[in-house]
Amino acid sequence: MTHSPSQMQQRRGHSIEVVDAKVAVDLATAQTYSENVFLFVPNLIGYTRVILAGLSLHFMSYHPKYCTLAYVFSCLLDAVDGQAARALNQTSKFGAVLDMVTDRCTTSCLLCYLASSYPPYAIIFQFLIALDFSSHYMHMYSSLVTGSRSHKLVTSDVSRILWLYYNDSRTLFFVCAGNELFYVSLYLMKWTTEPIGLPSVLPDLTYAQALAAASLPICALKNIINLVQLWKASKILVGVDLAERANARKEQDTRRR
């Protein structure tokens, strides 16, 4: 099905209003403590996530227990900030971007460590970093240029896979948590050698290896979703390009008449 440029404009739901950058900076500078977006509770939770992520990176090379605890708590708080934002009516674009940037940077730092810990598989970890950043950046940008208020507002007619992923908080949490669990398990495999103690079938299996095996399918699913997200965002941006070029041609034809 094809859509005209006007139809594309009509299909935009929950569109954003454009605010001049200088006006936005002045508004942010003049904030009062009664409503300071930087001090919203979900954003304070976001800052806590950044601190915990930093601590996990600090301990990553020499203290696996402290590293894992800090990393896991940082990831778990990712599920709390969104609920706090909705409960307190403190949703914000700054908070949404802070949340996404924290997720991308934290996961990428862990993948960098895994690349150095597993040199034969370094190219795979590098690919996962590139895929994660590129798919989320293009998805965010395609959401902005189509006037969406949030990158999570995906309709089923655009992508049923992304709609199921973003619009069901349980699915989103399960997939993201499983993906992080796989990477954390790979990290712990470098430090854990004591077997679980299973029967003779898998006598040398450690708990980290068991967790990695259980969460591998979820990690694969998450990266398939990233590929879908990258492809759909690319198609949206190309569609916007085509619509703008069609409008430009119409304007040229109008001026010639």
Active-site residue list? 103
Q: Measuring CA to CA, which residue among 130, 165, 166, 164 is closest to residue 148?
A: 166
Comparing C-alpha atoms, which of 158, 75, 57 is closest to residue 111? 57
Rounded to whole angstroms, the Cα distance separating 191 from 216 reads: 19
What is the rounded CA–CA span in Å between residue 63 and residue 98? Answer: 27
Query: Which of 180, 184, 207, 208 has its CA nearest to residue 196?
Result: 207
Q: Among 150, 41, 50, which residue's Cα sits nearest to residue 96?
A: 150
